[in-house]
Amino acid sequence: MVFYGLKQLRAIFLIGGMCVFAGANAWFFVQIWEAGQTPPDLSGQAVYGASAVGGVLGTFFAAVLGLQQFSNEPSPQLGATLLRDVYGGLWLARLAIWLYAAVGAGALITVFFNQAQSPQSIKALASVFAGFALAIFIAAFSPSTRTTSDVPEAPAAAPDS
């Protein structure tokens, strides 16, 4: 049985999740910056929902970094690898990566300047993103550790007598 439109439906769910993640976190950041000296009264359910979607996007972000680091191809196709069953996989993959990076950077800046007002979930997002950023920084300045010449060749078969 074939379900037509399934790829488009998956794309709609992915785009919706990205909108929830970006919108909720942007709202949290504004509330934190405007809070003054006391922590803002953020909805626990909204924080939980944004954190759950952020966990999914964070896992995707980490998987993409792993693909970039360990792929033998000069430029792996992110969307084709991770979102092969989603309509618009490549551009959605790029959008999700940049969106996660933007929200992560926003969390880092918000927590840096508003330590006392930032709830633990925003601090967690900032620290996870800082770990990803550190990994990217280290990878940018370290020599490639995996090449095709590093893979040992199979021993030659013994000739039949």
Task: Tell me the three state secondary structure of residue 1.
Answer: coil
pTM summary value: 0.70
Q: CA torsion 83→19→60→12, rounded to 10°? A: -20
Q: What is the pLDDT along the chain (161 residues), one digit of tens a residue?
A: 556 677 778 778 888 888 988 999 999 999 999 998 888 888 888 888 888 888 877 777 666 666 554 555 555 555 555 555 556 667 777 788 788 889 989 999 999 999 998 888 889 889 988 887 887 778 777 766 544 444 455 555 555 55
Tell me which long-range contacts 23-29 makes (C-beta under 8 A, separation of at least 24): 24/49, 24/50, 24/53, 25/50, 25/54, 25/103, 25/106, 25/107, 25/122, 25/125, 26/103, 26/106, 28/119, 28/122, 29/106, 29/107, 29/110, 29/122
